[in-house]
Chain A
Amino acid sequence: MAATQKEIVDGLAEIVNEIAGIPVEDVQLDKSFTDDLDVDSLSMVEVVVAAEERFDVKIPDDDVKNLKTVGDATEYILKHQS
C-alpha cells in the first residue's frame, strides 16, 4: 500500500537521522537537505538510495539534484511510488 505524506516524512526523518545524525524532529517539509540539515551531496545519495528501498520508488541521478527540500523529496516519492 502506498505511503501517506506523513509516513514518507517520518521515514525520511529516520533515514536522515541514521545517515547524518540529525534529530528526527528537525526533518520538516520546508527544510533544505543541504542548508538546514547538513546533508552533503554524497550523503544525499545515501538518503536517496535508502528512500528508494523503503518506499519502493526509483529516483534517477538526474532527478536527485531537484530534491532540495524534504518537501521536494516527499512530493517526488508520493508521485512515483508504486
Chain B
Amino acid sequence: MAKIRAAKGAPYARIMGVGGYRPTRVVPNEVILERIDSSDEWIRSRSGIATRHWANDEETVSAMSVEAAGKAIADAGISPEQVGAVVVSTVSHFAQTPAVATEIADKVGTRKAAAFDISAGCAGFGYGLTLAKGMIVEGSAEYVLVIGVERLSDLTDLDDRSTAFLFGDGAGAVVVGPATEPHIGPSVWGSEGDKSETIKQTLPWTDYRVGDVAHIPLNARGEVKFPALTQEGQAVFRWAVYEMAKVAQQALDAAGISAADLDVFIPHQANMRIIDSMVKTLKLPEHVTVARDVEHTGNTSAASIPLAMERLLATGEAKSGDTALVIGFGAGLVYAATVVTLP
C-alpha cells in the first residue's frame, strides 16, 4: 500500500482579526409600530431592543460580507491572498446555488480560496469557527475567513406582533489563523432535532410554486406573505436560558477556565431578557463584561456574535487578549460554545 503524505498544520489556532458591517438604515421601534399593535415600552421590556439596522437593495448578503471581511483581514494584518478558505454562515441568502461564499472570496481578493456556505442558524458563527480551527490545525488552510451574515428583515413578518421587532441585518467576520498556544478552546456543540419545530421558517419555498397557489398565504392587504421566521417564545426562552447555561458551563470546563478567569461573555444576541437570565443562571462575576449589542442591532442570527465582539473591542469595553466565552444557539435547534482569546 502506497504511503500518503498528510498536510502539516499549525499546533493551534486563534482569532486574529474581527470586522463588522451594519446597514446604514437605523430602524427605531416607532417604524415597527406602524404595522403592529404594540408599544415602544412593550418591545423594550420584552426584548431590550431599541433600534436595529435594515439593509437596502445595495446592502446584499455578499456586499455586507465583503465589507466586514475586508475589515477583519485588515485587523488581522494579513493580505487577502493569504486566506485559504472562506466559510459563510447564513440563512438569508435567497439563491440556493451557487454558495454566496465563492462570490465573497473573489470580491475580497483571495486567490481562489476554498469557499462554501453553512446553515447553522444562530449557532453558525461557532460552527464556522470550529471548522476553521480544524482546517488550520489539520493544514488545509493557513488563514480562514469566517463570516456570519444575515438579512433577516427579508424573513420577518412585519404583521406579527411577537416577532416583527426582533430581527436585524448585518455581517460580522473574523480571520482565524495559526497560533503557538491554544487561543480557541474545545467546542461544545450539538443539535436537538426533536425540537426543530421550535424555531422555523413558516413555509418551504416549494409551497410557492404555481400549482400550489391555493396554499400561498396572504396578509390583510391581500399581498402574498413571504416565508418568515416563527418561534415558540416560551419554549425558546426556557431552552436558551437554562439548557444553554449548561452548555456554556461545559465550554468553560472543557477549556479549563473558571468564571473568575473570564473577562468577557458574548452570547448570541437574541434578546436582552435571555442574556440577563443567562448571566444570572451562570452566576457570572461582576467583573465579566457582557455583550448587549442586541439593544441597537436586534437579532442578526449568525452575524450577532462577531458584530458584538467587534463593538466591544471598538468601544474599549473589551480589549485584545481578553478571555471570552462565546455561545450561539438557535433554529435546529443547534448550539455551539467555546472560549476564545479576543483578537
Give me the interface of A with B, judged by CB distance under 8 Å. 40-42, 44-46, 48-49, 61, 64-65
Other-chain residue from A42, A46, A49, A65 in contact with B46 (beta carbon distance below 8 A): A42
Which chain A residue lies CB-closest to B232? A61
Interface size class of B (residues with CB under 8 A): 10 to 19
Write out the residue numbers on chain B whose beta carbons fall within 8 Å of the beta carbon of A41: 46, 233-234
Which chain A residue lies CB-closest to B238? A45
Q: How far is the CA of A41 from the CA of B237 in the complex (A)?
A: 10
Q: Which of B226-248 contact A (CB under 8 A)?
A: 232-235, 237-238, 241-242
Write out the residue numbers on chain A whose beta carbons fall within 8 Å of the beta carbon of B45: 40
Which chain A residue lies CB-closest to B273? A42
15 A-B residue contacts at CB 8 Å?
Answer: A41-B234, A42-B46, A42-B237, A44-B234, A45-B234, A45-B237, A45-B238, A46-B241, A46-B277, A49-B241, A61-B232, A61-B235, A61-B238, A64-B234, A65-B234
Q: Which of B33-50 contact A (CB under 8 A)?
A: 45-46
- The SS class assigned to the A binding surface is helix
Which chain B residue lies CB-closest to A48? B238
- Min CB gap A57→B, angstroms: 15
Extra contacts, 17 of them, besides A45-B237, A45-B238, A61-B235 (Cβ < 8 A), are A40-B45, A41-B234, A42-B46, A42-B233, A42-B234, A42-B237, A44-B234, A45-B234, A46-B241, A46-B277, A48-B238, A49-B238, A61-B232, A61-B234, A61-B238, A64-B234, A65-B234
Write out the residue numbers on chain A whose beta carbons fall within 8 Å of the beta carbon of B277: 46
